[in-house]
Amino acid sequence: MSFRAILIGFVLAMVVAAGGHFNDVYMQQTYMVGNFLPVSVVGFLLLLVLVVGPVLFFIRAGWQFSAAELAVIVALPFAVCVVPGSGLLRSFTPSLALPEHYEKMHSSWQKHEVLSHVPEGLLVGGEQAGLSEEEYLGAFLQGKGGEGQRIGLGDIPWAAWRAPLMRWVPLFLVLMLGLIGLSLMLHRQWTSHEHLVYPVAEVVTQMTAKGEGHALPAALRDRFFWFG
């Protein structure tokens, strides 16, 4: 775990977590995290392995990234891929803001009084915050800015969002810590006793295992790999 590996991993993790939502929702580009082998992480790993690594190797053999460093570099962004993807931001904010809108649009919601079953403070609402529906719901549906007009963080109706965020964000943090703990607990059983293979980790392993005196991993030196 070298300093450069941790630094590069943290920077890439910040790019994925912060830039992924902007890229997916506002730029509407190809998803940065669209599957279990996200191009934003695996593509960057390929760039390191095929371009940066060989350049460093030919400049000075000891400068190239080791397999352990490459593992650290991809492990950190992999851990935050849940943030911009379907696991969180792609559905989190609409799920908090739009139920009130859906209830007005669908008679079945009104008939069964769906929102009456939701505990107070779990969804975005302006009644207790002293905001009108247009100030928090209209702003979410239509946006507050205009062409060539940007809004600042202070223009967001935080009074309507504060209560649900204070309830949901700590839950997400606890869930992430719990999942990390669960993976550590099951890892030895799965790998040592049951000899199960992690498909995503196996791809990274094959792409990073170089061997002494080689600029490229063994898999990328195999002609059958390139035929495929």
Rounded to an integer, what distance in angstroms lies between the CA atom of residue 174 and that of residue 156? 26
Residue 14 confidence (pLDDT)? 92
Q: How many helices (H) and strands (E) does the chain have?
A: 13, 0
Name the helix (H) or strand (E) containing 205: helix 199-208
DSSP lists the bridge partners of residue 149 as 146
DSSP state of 149: B
Residue 171 confidence (pLDDT)? 93
Residue 228, both tokens: 């495929």
Q: How far is CA 4 from CA 10, 15, 40, 57, 137, in A?
A: 10, 16, 19, 16, 44
Residue 23 confidence (pLDDT)? 86
Q: Inform me whether the pLDDT recorded for 215 exceeds 80.
A: no
CA dihedral 73, 42, 61, 218 (to 10 degrees): 130
Residue 128 confidence (pLDDT)? 63
pLDDT one-digit tens code per residue, 23-61: 887 788 888 888 888 888 988 988 988 888 888 888 887
DSSP letter string, 78-103:
HHHTTTTSTTTHHHHHHHHHSHHHHH
**pLDDT above 90 as % of the chain:** 16
- The average confidence (pLDDT) of the chain is 85
* pLDDT band with cut points at 50, 70 and 90 for residue 212: low
Q: Inform me whether the pLDDT recorded for 204 exceeds 80.
A: yes
Residues 72 and 6 sit within 8 Å (Cβ to Cβ): yes
The average pLDDT across 115-126 equals: 85
